[in-house]
Amino acid sequence: MLSTAQLELLDAYCGSDQQARRAQLRDAYEHLRDLEQRAGELRELAGARERELDLLSFELDEIEAAAPSEGEEAALIVERDRLRNQEALVRSAAFGAETLVPESGGTGVCELLAQAGQELEQAAAVDPGLAVLSERLAALRYESEDIGGELRGYVLGIEGAGGEAGAEDGARGHQQRLEDIEERLALLARLQRKHGGSVASVLAHGERCRERRDELQNADTALEGIEAEVADAQARLDELAGAVASARRGVAPGLAQAVCDRLGELAMPDARFEIELGDRPGGCGPRGADAIEMLIAANAGGTVGPLREVASGGELSRVMLALTSVAHGTPPADAGAGPLLVFDEIDAGIGGHTARAVGEHLRALSRGRQILCITHLPQVAALADRHFTIVKDGSVAPPTTTVTALDGDDVVGELVRMLGGGAADRAATDHARELLRAA
């Protein structure tokens, strides 16, 4: 039997308080494992953080030094195009201004509009229907004069951009500004290629770098905090493991004696059964810090040895029956809530009253649980709630095994066969029916 199953039986014998302690122990163990994993991650983080901090600082310094902003690139492109085409822009604006309001004193569009307006104003005095058109023409004249003045100002603004140092210095200033814009656009393009393709993605990357840098810089503080939590969780786990171990050691002798007494009823009167508890290799686990070994000597004068090594199949089944009936003697509150138990060859080497006792123990244990028992004794089989036969046919390839449910006379017939009788054996049939009635 696995040590985990042995611990489960011992803890079941301890009672419901032990189950509550076990649940707390399991939760404390999982909590400690989570904290230790987090502490390990922080230690790894601390080990590699200097290299990552250097990279983060470089990228963040590059972004902060550039200080890009949304819309800046578009504005720079507009200014660059204006500087590249400055001569054509001045020429077009000057032509428009001269056409509207010529500085040479010639007749421009505004003067012609003024003349047309005077004519139309006189005509409107005769025909009021022309008054609206006269007003619109006057407004068009004033708008044209404003446009001419703004175009003149646009030209003066570009020509005066070089300051008072003269045309040569102005040209140098124009070229320098154009070079500055090209350099700035190249910087923005380089940042965008590295960090997502847009100014927004560059800014977002900078924010992530800032957050990650802060996290790395605070790693030592976080590690100290998590290590303190680990120490507290370990102390709590040790406390719970101690309580679980104390309960186990307190009931282990009683369980061993109760199993010996029960084995006496199951045709193993000379059996010696012991429970040894020690420290679990590797320290505390989710089931505690105990290692368990159940020992047995099946016969008088024999040397006790590990249950899994010493007991035969039939002996092991009876020991399991004794253990389970003692540890889980009280039926579970919910019908069917108990574990499924399988007993194979539990009747090996017994008969008569002992067989009946084994059957009674099985039936008592089946309250609230499902038990699957393979038996060759009619005294045991008669006590079952349901019956099946298992027949292996080796005459075919591959061999087949057939399981058949039995009911009514089929059960009687199978019990007769187990009693060694034939279908016509009246005494065996009466005995089989008597076994069923007694059950």
pLDDT digits (tens, 9 = 90+) for 176-204: 888 889 999 999 999 999 888 888 999 99
191: in domain: yes
What's the CA gap between 52 and 58, in Å, rounded?
Answer: 10
CA distance 346 to 322: 11
Over residues 292-307, mean pLDDT: 89
pLDDT(336) > 80: no
Query: pLDDT class for 294, splitting at 50, 70, 90?
Result: very high
For 406-437, write each residue's pLDDT tens digit. 998 899 999 999 888 887 888 889 898 988 88
| pLDDT confidence of residue 170 | 59
Range in 20-34, 64-78, 230-244, 283-297 with the lowest mean pLDDT: 64-78
Report the chain's mean pLDDT, rounded to a whole number. 86
Residue 14 lies in a domain: no
Has residue 432 been placed in a domain?
no
Please give the pLDDT value at position 169: 60
Q: How many CA atoms lie within 13 A of 325 on its CB side?
A: 26
Span 347-369, average pLDDT: 81
Give residue 171's pLDDT band: very low, low, confident or very high (50, 70, 90): low
Mean pLDDT of all residues in 267-280: 92
Whether residue 188 lies inside any domain: the answer is: yes
Cα 153–chain centre separation? 68
Higher per-residue confidence, 391 vs 332? 391
Residue 325 — very low, low, confident or very high, per pLDDT cuts 50/70/90?
confident
Q: Nearest Cα to 9, choosing from 246, 252, 305, 310?
A: 252
How high is the pLDDT of residue 332? 58
Q: Does any domain span residue 233?
A: yes
Query: Residue 172 falls within a domain, yes or no?
Result: yes
pLDDT given for residue 335 in this prediction: 53
Please give the pLDDT value at position 163. 47
Q: What percent of the chain has pLDDT over 90?
A: 31
Q: Which residues of 311-331 are buried (b: 16+ CB within 10 A; e: fewer)?
A: beebbbbbbbbbbbbbbbeee
Per-residue pLDDT band at 37 (split at 50, 70, 90): very high
| 153-167 mean pLDDT | 65
Task: Tell me, yes or no, whether 118 lies in a domain.
Answer: yes
State the total domains in the chain.
1
- Could you tell me the pLDDT band of residue 338, with boundaries at 50, 70 and 90? low
Range of the domain at 239: 25-244
User: In the sheet where 305-306 sits, what is the strand order?
Assistant: 272-279, 290-297, 305-306
Report residue 224's pLDDT band, with 50, 70 and 90 as the boundaries. Answer: confident
Q: How far is CA 432 from the centre of its chain?
A: 59
- The answer on pLDDT for 97 being more than 70 is yes
Measure the CA–CA gap between 229 and 297, rounded to whole angstroms.
Answer: 47
Does residue 142 sit within a domain? Answer: yes
pLDDT score, position 165: 47
Rounded Cα–Cα distance for residues 22 and 284 (Å)? 12
Higher pLDDT, 388 or 355: 388
Average pLDDT over residues 377-381: 90
Burial 238-276 (b: 16+ CB within 10 A, else e): eebbebbbebbeebbeebbebbbebbebbbbeebbbbbe
Distance CA 436, CA 426 (A): 15
Prediction pTM value = 0.56
pLDDT of residue 337: 58
State the pLDDT at residue 252.
95
d(CA 185, CA 167): 27
